[in-house]
Structure formats: C-alpha cells, structure tokens
Structure 1
Amino acid sequence: GLVAGLQRQMSFASVRIGLYDSVKQFYTPKGSDHCSITTRILAGCTTGAMAVTCAQPTDVVKIRFQASVHAGPGSNRKYSGTMDAYRTIAREEGVRGLWKGTLPNITRNAIINCAEMVTYDIIKEKLLNYHLLTDNFPCHFVSAFGAGFCATVVASPVDVVKTRYMNSPPGQYRSPFDCMLKMVTQEGPTAFYKG
C-alpha cells in the first residue's frame, strides 16, 4: 500500500495546503487584515473536504491493498499491485467503489483539522500567557504534540468507522452510520479506539 499511500499524500496535501491561503482569503471579510479562528476552521474544513474528494480513490486503494495481503508464502493476493487494485475495484464495484466512504472521510478530516487548529492555538496561548515557554521551537513543538494527541483522541472513532466501511465487502453495511451502529452493538464503544 506504499504507492497508494504516497499517491494519497501527494494529491491530498497538494489540494489541502495549496488552496488553504486562497480559501482563507475568500472567507476573510473584505478590508480585514486579521483572520479569525472561525475563518481558519472554515478554510481548513473546506480545503480538507476538497482534498478528500480528490484523493478518495487513493485512500480506498491504500486501505484495500493493505488489507488484501495475506500472511504466508503462496497465499493468493486479491491485487497484484496498486494499479491493479484501482482497476479491480472499478471493475467489481463500478467507479463509485473508488469513492466509497467519502462522507466519513470528509467528516474525519474536518474533525482532525478543527481539533488540531483549535487545540494548537489554545495550548500555545496558555503556554505563552502563563510564561511557561517563549514563542520558539519548544513552544511550537509542545503545542503541536498536544494538538496531535487531542485530534487523534477525537477523530479515532470516525477514522475506525471510515476504514471499516471503506474496506467492507459490498452489502456488509448499508451506510457509515450502519457500520457505526453495528460496531457499538457487537463490540461496544471501545471498538472505536482499536489501533
């Protein structure tokens, strides 16, 4: 799944990061020099959703390709390579199969963007206000570490549902919501934090 993972990261990051400033300016009121946290969250969610929509096939292939590898020599793989995975999924499930799980993926990305941005700003602000650190690399590192931790805790349930839904055979779940309900009823709430 490395090739699909690289394809996903290149396409996802290009759209998300490449369009962020333009979208942020679009949401900023005319004549304003200051960009509010709400504007940043809106820009992050918008570019994140656009990036997910573009990169979704690469994410589906990465997850399916990784899940298709069986242990042991001589075992049959479903896909011979990344490009074969794209073709096989499109042939067996139609082109829509490559966009399976887009809504939970957009939801996951929006949650992560918001959680990271808001907690990063809050942690950094508190560190500076209480004079625990100055505005330098250690302050940014601690703020980023805290933001990443918070975003992971908040986004893990959506991430698990997204991955299971995208990796499920056709018909196993009616929707991402059905996947979530089955996880809770069959495995309990701790299933959302597997991995």
Structure 2
Amino acid sequence: MGEENLPEKPVEKPVKHIPGYISFFIGGGAGILARCVVHPADLVKTRMQLEPKIAGDGGLKSLIIRIVAKDGVFGLYAGISAALFRQATYTTARFGIFNLMFDYYRDKYGMPGFGTKLALGLISGGLSAFVGNPGEVVLVRMTADGQLPPDQRRNYTNVIDAISRMIREEGVSALWRGTMSTVVRAMIVNASQLSTYVQAREMLQPKIGEGLLLHVLASMVAGLVSSVASLPIDIVKTRVQNAREGTSEWSIFLNIIKYEGPLALWHGFIPTFAKIAPHTVLTFVFFEKLVTLYHMMDSRTAKR
C-alpha cells in the first residue's frame, strides 16, 4: 500500500497558554471575588480556633449570635480589608506561579502526573506564602480582635493602619511572624487543593463533559481534601500569629496535644470546610470564567 493511501495523521493543535502576567491577575481576581462571599465563615473559624472551649458554650450557632448581637451583621466582615489584601498578594502569587510552572512542564515533558502536580503545588504554595505572610498576620489579628476584652483590642481601622502600626510598635519582623507555619500550611493547601482540582477535573471531564458542573464537583473534592489536610497546621498558625509575644509553632502544637487532645487539631472543622469548600468552588469557577473571558477578548482582538 502506497503512502498516498495512508490516512492522514490528525494535526495536534498547540495548547494556547495565557500570558504569565495575565495568569497572576486572573488568579488574584478570582480569589478576591470568592473571598467577598466566604469571609464570614473564615472569621467564625478563626475565633473558634482561638477559643478552644467554645463548643461547650453553644458552639458555632452561639458564636455567630454573639458576633451579630455585639457588632451587628457587618461584624461578620471584620478584617475584610486584610482579607482582600491577602488575596491580592498570596492568591495572586500561588495561581500565577503554579500555572507558569504547569505550562512550562506540559510544554517540555507532557502532561504532568499527580505526583508532579503535588510537587508544583508545594513549590508555588511555599513561595506565595512567604510573599503573603504580612496579609495573613493582619487578617488573623483583625478577625480575632472583636473576641478580645476591650482593653486588649488592637482596634486596627484597616489593613494599612494595621501594617504601619505593627512596623512602628513591633518592628518589621512582626509581619513575618509565624512564617514557618504559614508556609507549611500553604504548601499543604496548594499541593492538596490545586493538584487535586486538576486531577479531579481530568478524571471527571470524560464522564460529565466541560462546564459548570465539572468545575463545581472538582472544586468540592479539592476543598474537602485540603480542609482535612491543612486544619491542624492552620490552628497552630492562627495562635502563633495572634500571640502578643513570639511563640514557637512547636510549643503551641505540643500544648494543644497535651492539654486539649489530638482531635483539637481539627477543632472548627465545620466552619473551616464551610469556608474552604465554597471558597474553593467559587475561586476555581471564577478562575475558569475569567480565563474564558480572556480568551474571548483575545480572539476578538486578534480578528481586528
């Protein structure tokens, strides 16, 4: 049989990547939009982590009622400026770095396996956490402030006020308090969340096709895995960053085990999952929609 009779091989279209700097903006924008929705759940989670015996005082429902009765509905949005600042730094960096490395690896070696995705998540999480640690410290303090006695509150008015006062009163190093636990937590969250999302998306797509349902289901899987994996280090990080004097992560970890029991490391799992699950879903859904929007705008520009 002559070569002229052989079926033509399909021409593989090159994967069209989003420019690196756009990937950073899209990741940060998706995180900011998602944060506006889930901030109340994160505030409740933070206060539960700082008040270990809250379960014996009516638990989650009692805490929410106390917050609203004391500060009104807007009390659930205490520290929102710090939360958005954190998204603008940490989330922007983690999505941008992960996608840059993912695209580079795919172009050079082919689609990465799950182990490689975990490694990419670990690296991007660690780097972005160091960049975003100031926002993390301020967020913890501002969301926890309303729980303190009036004479012990810091009363930061916004994220700029908080950062300037911390530098003036405690030194620049205070902005990187708890960096080790922040980095470890971010590595765990990124490795479990981003890699699980990409993996779940690849596994589910042939069965349910592309679309919103795919993004939501893959995000729910990623949110559950990252909640279970990250909560213990998140509790340690929260207590370190809220402390008025430097306290080591290891000593706090041992004290929790000794005085509260191992299960205390998952204290506040419900509000944590209530925050991480929808935040993960919304972040990835917003991310996918922003990517689609970018491609639409890019194609229209190319046709002109």
| TM-score normalised over the length of structure 1 | 0.82
1:67 and 1:87 map into 2 onto residues whose CA distance is 19
Deviation, structure 1 residue 90: 2.0
Alpha-carbon displacement from aligned partner over 1:116-137 (angstroms, at most 9, x marks no partner): 24544565566578xxx42334
Q: For the structure 1 residues 170 and 121, does the alpha-carbon distance in structure 2 shift closer, same or farther, using more than 3 Å as the test?
A: same
Structure 1: which 5+ runs fail to align?
none
1:108 and 1:140 map into 2 onto residues whose CA distance is 24
1:122 and 1:4 map into 2 onto residues whose CA distance is 31
Residue aligned with 1:69, SS: helix
Contact preservation (8 Å) 1:49, 1:110: yes
Question: Equivalent residues in 2 for 1:68-83 (5 A)?
Answer: 68-70=145-147, 75-76=150-151, 77-82=153-158, 83=160
2:143 aligned to which of 66, 70, 87: 66
Q: For the structure 1 residues 29 and 145, does the alpha-carbon distance in structure 2 shift closer, same or farther, using more than 3 Å as the test?
A: closer
1:71 and 1:30 map into 2 onto residues whose CA distance is 52
Q: For the structure 1 residues 89 and 136, does the alpha-carbon distance in structure 2 shift closer, same or farther, using more than 3 Å as the test?
A: same
1:24 aligned to which of 94, 102, 124: 102
Q: 2:134 maps to what in 1?
A: 57
Q: 1:145 maps to what in 2?
A: 220
Deviation, structure 1 residue 13: 1.9
1:161 and 1:50 map into 2 onto residues whose CA distance is 20
2:237 aligned to which of 155, 162, 165: 162
Ranked by relative contact order (alpha carbons within 8 Å, sequence separation 6 or more), the top structure is: 2
Q: 1:84 maps to what in 2?
A: 161
Q: For the structure 1 residues 71 and 168, does the alpha-carbon distance in structure 2 shift closer, same or farther, using more than 3 Å as the test?
A: closer
Q: For the structure 1 residues 143 and 93, does the alpha-carbon distance in structure 2 shift closer, same or farther, using more than 3 Å as the test?
A: same
Return the index of the structure with the highest Cα Rg: 2
Alpha-carbon displacement from aligned partner over 1:19-52 (angstroms, at most 9, x marks no partner): 22322355x3884233333332222222222211
2:112 and 2:264 map into 1 onto residues whose CA distance is 39
Code of the aligned partner of 2:264: A
Structure 2: which 5+ runs fail to align?
1-78, 269-304
Code of the aligned partner of 1:81: T
Task: Tell me, yes or no, if structure 1 residue 190 matches structure 2 residue 190.
Answer: no
Q: 2:92 maps to what in 1?
A: 14
- By percentage of residues, which structure has more helix? 2
| TM-score normalised over the length of structure 2 | 0.55
Aligned residues: 187
Runs of 4+ in 1 over 6 A off after TM superposition: none
Code of the aligned partner of 1:134: I
RMSD: 2.6
Code of the aligned partner of 2:155: Y
Name the % identity.
28
Residue aligned with 2:139, SS: helix
